[in-house]
Amino acid sequence: MREHLELLWELQKLDLDLKAIEGERNRYPKEITKLDEKQNMEKEKIHKEREKLESLEKVRKQKEQALLAEQDKIKRSEGRMTEVKTNKEYQALLSEIETFKEAASRVEEEVLLVMDEIDELKKHLSKRDKEIIILLENAEAEKKRIQERMAEDEAVWKEKSERKATLSKQVEAKLFTLYNTLKEKRQGIGMVSVRHETCQGCFVNVPPQMFIEVQKNNCLIRCPNCNRILFWDENGEKK
């Protein structure tokens, strides 16, 4: 029985390792998805900022054209100064020119404001370009690390699965069936060690006489509380 219990104990540790790897298998794709989403989000932000810059450039050109139009009006009005014949016409033309100059001044101020906004946005984009390059490089490096861990886990999974298949055939059939039944009922743990006279499955104290028998590993003993198979792991007791 001792040999079968030792094999079963190794099998339990393999099952826990495989369960942990399976958990990582489920986690890795989610981590990669998060990294992809973060990359796409940053790219989208940059894209929108560039669209805003393009829009501002269009506004600047429109206002510059409007400014040229106002300046042209001023020139044409000033060119008519030699044509006026009366003081009334002269005053009216002066008023018209002043109106055009005021309009030109307003448009010129608007052009300058847009140009300031464009300059600030360009500085911001220059900084963001450097930041996003680093961010994207880091994200790609992290994805590469995850993929490497996935490959490593797959290799370990294969090795442990093969060992599990071998052990499953070596353990006594009835004991193996009992173990699987308990494992299904107890969150994947059908066999536990006893450490410091305590069941490591439910953490309830094991009766003194039972603890003595467990340490021999010569017969099948189950926890009176959680019903799991008990095993004495000398290495575990020393921890």
User: Can you list the domains of the chain with their CATH numbers?
Assistant: 28-163 (1.10.287.1490), 174-238 (no CATH)
* Residue ranges for the chain with pLDDT beneath 70: 236-239
Quote the distance between the C-alpha of residue 236 and its chain's center: 37
| pLDDT, position 225 | 95
Radius of gyration, CA atoms only, the chain? 40
How many CB atoms are located within 10 Å of the residue 78 CB?
Answer: 14
| pLDDT, position 74 | 93
Residue 196 DSSP one-character state: T
Pinpoint the alpha helices (H) of the chain. Answer: 2-79, 87-170, 173-185, 208-214, 234-238
Residue type, 158: K
Angle at 186 between CA 182 and CA 191, to 5 degrees: 55
| pLDDT, position 236 | 60
Query: Distance between CA 157 and CA 17 in Å, rounded?
Result: 9
| pLDDT, position 237 | 54
Handedness of CA 18, 21, 23, 25 (dihedral sign): negative
- All residues at 6 or more sequence positions from 10 whose CB lies less than 8 Å from its CB, including other chains: 167
Query: Distance between CA 135 and CA 142 in Å, rounded?
Result: 10
**Coil, helix or strand at residue 71:** helix
- All residues at 6 or more sequence positions from 100 whose CB lies less than 8 Å from its CB, including other chains: 70, 73, 74, 77
| pLDDT, position 1 | 85
| pLDDT, position 84 | 86
What predicted TM-score, i.e. pTM, was given to this entire model? 0.66
Using an 8 Å Cβ cutoff, are 132 and 7 in contact?
no
Query: Distance between CA 199 and CA 235 in Å, rounded?
Result: 15
pLDDT in tens, 10-50: 999 999 999 999 999 999 999 999 999 999 999 999 999 99
Residue 216 DSSP one-character state: T
**Coil, helix or strand at residue 225:** coil
